[in-house]
């Protein structure tokens, strides 16, 4: 891998962080002038511009520079924040995201819309640039001139009449490429003035002779705050900017011994800190997610072979082998738990994408929505996280489009004009629970009941006897929708069945509850991981199957006279509870004895499975079935036991 390609990955990772900051802060800025949000946007755009310039992605740099021009006018209060302006800036972030995607795929960031967006931004600059002197204090509205070549050591460049500042930058200990970070800082500063001296020199930094501290003297009219923002960024631990008084006691190029006592003490302190920094170790590194996946596959192989070794030890009864295997088993368990923790990702990774969605959908529908996120620090395995974004996106759009009313309608109902949409997450025992609730009109139960009858899902008589919970279950039928008209947001016949199937594919479940006039709540219950689970190994007709232990309620004896018929179905009375019996004959054949019944549960429903034998519990690795032979209803995947037997893992959710 070339050095440029190594930096490409770093650029993409940091650019995505800056892009997320820009979008989030723009949504804050849209609610009203917020100096903190403006500074955050300006810093992120400026950092992204400098990184793009250093990597040679000219179109990305040009678009960021034009955005920076507009932002500088907003900061100077010569340009008002308005909805059309925010729309334009958000459109720019959409293009930037596409450019980053292209760069990640190996491209150069080319995009056909940048020229049009730059022209639109220039119109806003012309509109708000009445006071040019104020604008120039933040950043020049014209394209920055190429940086002057670094003057020879001991012969600083001419600052002219501009003030001179000393900028001290400390790169974070977590930075894996401190020299690259320092060069990005220098590139950013070059755009704001003339760099007079650098310590260490550019050549030394370029050759990798750089620890953590950079000191730059620069002649600039931009001011201290603009210089501080330019030097700040990802993996920058500290930035200080101070004016340099060009008197006889502190002239440019003077020897260190001519510094005033206070400056001399500061230099000594920094030198001591640099010496200490040299002895510190790197505590954090960036790891490609594909490498983690590969390590996880190796851990899964160890788990499988751990079971194999235990069986061999039990078969041959070798004491020394038992002792060695117990040590290996403990190490594999610790490694497995550690890998599971490493793969856990906070839900904020996907939650932070949704404020923009809420803003766009609400604007499209002419609604006012307050979006609240809670519990984003709750963690999920990335295998679960990958399939969660689309279902949540659909529920959020559904909540705004169908749930929250128009402002005028809410006022007539005695509600606030602004609707509330709340997305929250928390741990509940072994599961992660994600809730999406709104304070809208709720679901019209009778309308759903009528729609179900119209579609032939139930007769009028049967529908009238259904409970509210049973009626709401119709919403998850394929193609079921109560939308009166089709829009580009929802109502195209792709309904909540997509959400249900996606969540069940993640071994989770979804519930919905609603109070007419008060709102609706969706609850997603998910396992924290799907890779390694506890199962019960049972036998039906000599065939082994695995059933997730979190679905098992109990194991009981079964006799033929205990089975009763209710219509065409079988049931058993167990502890004053009538349980339907589901036989897996079509999948595995009829049980040879069938004198054991395994009670399993999904949500509030239980059923009994007749078995021949219960072998016991075991921790197994579940491999997705669709990679091998395609999907099969009732089977969530396969696992390989220690003796090499390939065993199907039953999906209790779809079975019940």
Best CA proximity match to 397, nearest among 367, 433, 352: 367
Q: What is the dihedral of CA 73, 74, 75, 77, to 10 degrees?
A: 90
For 564, residues 6+ apart whose C-beta sits below 8 A from its C-beta are 570, 571, 572, 573
Rounded to an integer, what distance in angstroms lies between the CA atom of residue 619 and that of residue 304?
Answer: 9
The DSSP line for 8-68 is: HHHHHHHHHHHHHHHHHHHHHHHTS--HHHHHHHHHHHHHHHHHHHHHT-HHHHHHHHHHH
The pair phi, psi for residue 313, each rounded to 5°, is -65, -40
Contact present, 419 and 380 (Cβ < 8 Å): no
SS3 state of residue 597: strand
Catalytic residue, chosen from 18, 398, 401, 653, is 398
Vertex 318 angle, CA 316 and 322, to 5°: 110
What's the start-to-end Cα distance of the chain, in Å?
51
Rounded to an integer, what distance in angstroms lies between the CA atom of residue 192 and that of residue 50?
Answer: 11
The pair phi, psi for residue 42, each rounded to 5°, is -60, -45
Q: Report CA-CA distances (Å) from 351 to 372, 398, 414.
A: 10, 16, 31
Rounded to an integer, what distance in angstroms lies between the CA atom of residue 392 and that of residue 28?
Answer: 22
Contact present, 189 and 230 (Cβ < 8 Å): yes
Bond before 262 cis per omega within 30 degrees = no
- Is 18 catalytic? The answer is no
Rounded to an integer, what distance in angstroms lies between the CA atom of residue 562 and that of residue 439?
Answer: 49
For 301, residues 6+ apart whose C-beta sits below 8 A from its C-beta are none
Best CA proximity match to 67, nearest among 137, 18, 1, 125: 125
- Is 68 catalytic? The answer is yes
Catalytic residue, chosen from 19, 46, 65, 402, is 46
Helices then strands (H, E): number in the chain? 23, 23
Q: Report CA-CA distances (Å) from 36 to 32, 39, 41, 52.
A: 11, 5, 9, 24
Catalytic residue, chosen from 14, 20, 40, 68, is 68
HEC profile of 496-560: HHHHHHHHHHCCCEEEEEEECCCEEEEEEEECCCCCEEEEEEEEECCEEEEEEHHHEEEEEECCH
**Residue 100 CB-density burial (10 A; 0-12 exposed, 13-18 middle, 19+ buried):** buried
- Is 398 catalytic? The answer is yes
For 51, residues 6+ apart whose C-beta sits below 8 A from its C-beta are 11, 14, 15, 184
Rounded to an integer, what distance in angstroms lies between the CA atom of residue 427 and that of residue 529?
Answer: 13
Q: How far is CA 39 from the centre of its chain?
A: 24
Rounded to an integer, what distance in angstroms lies between the CA atom of residue 72 and that of residue 38?
Answer: 9
- In b/e form, how buried is each residue of 368-404, taking b as 16+ CB within 10 angstroms? ebebebebbebbbbbebbeebeebbbbbbbbbbbbbb
- Catalytic residues, by residue number, are 46, 68, 398
């Amino acid at each position: 891998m070339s050095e440029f390609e190594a930096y490409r990955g770093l650029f993409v990772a940091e650019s995505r962080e800056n892009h997320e900051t820009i979008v989030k802060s723009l949504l804050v800025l849209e609610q009203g002038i917020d100096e903190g949000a403006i500074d955050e946007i300006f810093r992120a755009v400026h950092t992204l511009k400098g990184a793009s310039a250093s990597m040679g992605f000219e179109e990305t740099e040009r678009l960021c520079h034009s955005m920076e021009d507009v932002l500088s006018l907003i900061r100077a209060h010569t340009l008002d924040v308005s909805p059309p302006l925010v729309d334009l800036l958000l459109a720019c972030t959409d293009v930037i995201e596409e450019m980053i995607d292209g760069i990640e795929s190996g491209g150069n960031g080319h995009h056909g819309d940048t020229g049009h967006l730059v022209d639109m931004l220039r119109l806003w600059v012309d509109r708000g640039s009445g006071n040019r002197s104020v604008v120039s204090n933040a950043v020049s509205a014209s394209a920055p001139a190429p940086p002057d070549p670094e003057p020879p050591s001991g012969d600083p460049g001419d600052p002219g009449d501009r003030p001179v500042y000393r900028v001290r930058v400390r790169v974070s200990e977590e930075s894996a490429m401190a020299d690259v970070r320092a060069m990005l800082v220098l590139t950013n500063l070059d755009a704001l003035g003339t760099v007079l001296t650098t310590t260490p020199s550019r050549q030394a930094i370029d050759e990798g002779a750089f620890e953590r501290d950079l000191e730059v003297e620069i002649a600039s009219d931009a001011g201290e705050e603009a210089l501080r923002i330019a030097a700040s960024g990802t993996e920058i631990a500290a930035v200080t900017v101070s004016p340099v008084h060009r008197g006889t006691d502190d002239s440019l190029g003077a020897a260190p011994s001519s510094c005033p006592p206070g400056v001399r003490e500061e230099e000594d302190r920094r030198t001591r800190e640099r010496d200490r920094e040299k002895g510190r170790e790197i505590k954090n590194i960036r790891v490609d997610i594909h490498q983690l996946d590969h390590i996880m596959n190796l851990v899964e192989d160890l788990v499988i072979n751990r079971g194999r070794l235990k069986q061999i030890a039990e078969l041959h009864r070798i004491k020394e082998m038992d002792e060695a295997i117990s040590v290996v088993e403990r190490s594999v368990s610790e490694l497995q738990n550690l890998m599971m923790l490493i793969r856990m990702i906070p839900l904020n990774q996907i939650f932070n994408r949704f404020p923009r969605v809420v803003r766009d959908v609400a604007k499209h529908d002419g609604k006012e929505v307050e979006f609240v996120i809670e519990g984003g620090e709750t963690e999920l395995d990335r295998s679960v996280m990958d399939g969660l974004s689309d279902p949540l996106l659909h529920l959020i759009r559904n909540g705004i489009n169908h749930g929250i009313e128009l402002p005028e309608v809410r006022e007539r109902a005695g509600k606030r004009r602004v609707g509330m949409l709340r997305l929250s997450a928390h741990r509940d025992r072994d599961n992660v629970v994600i809730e999406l609730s709104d304070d809208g009109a709720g679901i019209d139960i009778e309308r759903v009941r009528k729609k179900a009858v119209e579609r032939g899902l139930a007769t009028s008589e049967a529908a009238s006897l259904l409970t509210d919970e049973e009626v709401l279950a119709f919403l998850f039928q394929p193609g079921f929708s109560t939308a009166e008209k089709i829009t580009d947001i929802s109502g195209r016949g792709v309904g909540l069945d997509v959400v249900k199937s996606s969540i069940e594919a993640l071994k989770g479940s979804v519930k919905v509850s609603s109070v007419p006039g008060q709102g609706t709540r969706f609850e997603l219950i998910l396992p924290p991981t799907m890779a390694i689970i506890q199962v019960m190994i049972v036998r039906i007709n000599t065939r082994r199957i695995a059933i997730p232990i979190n679905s098992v309620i109990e194991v009981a004896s079964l006799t033929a006279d205990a089975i009763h018929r209710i219509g065409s179905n079988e049931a058993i009375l167990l502890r004053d509870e009538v349980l339907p019996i589901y036989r897996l004959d079509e999948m595995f054949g009829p049980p040879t004895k069938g004198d054991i019944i395994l009670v399993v549960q999904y949500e509030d429903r239980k059923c009994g499975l007749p078995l021949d034998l219960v072998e016991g519990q075991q921790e197994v690795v579940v491999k997705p079935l669709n990679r091998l032979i395609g999907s099969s209803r009732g089977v969530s995947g396969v696992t390989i036991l220690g003796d090499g037997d390939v065993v199907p893992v039953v999906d209790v959710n779809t079975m019940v």
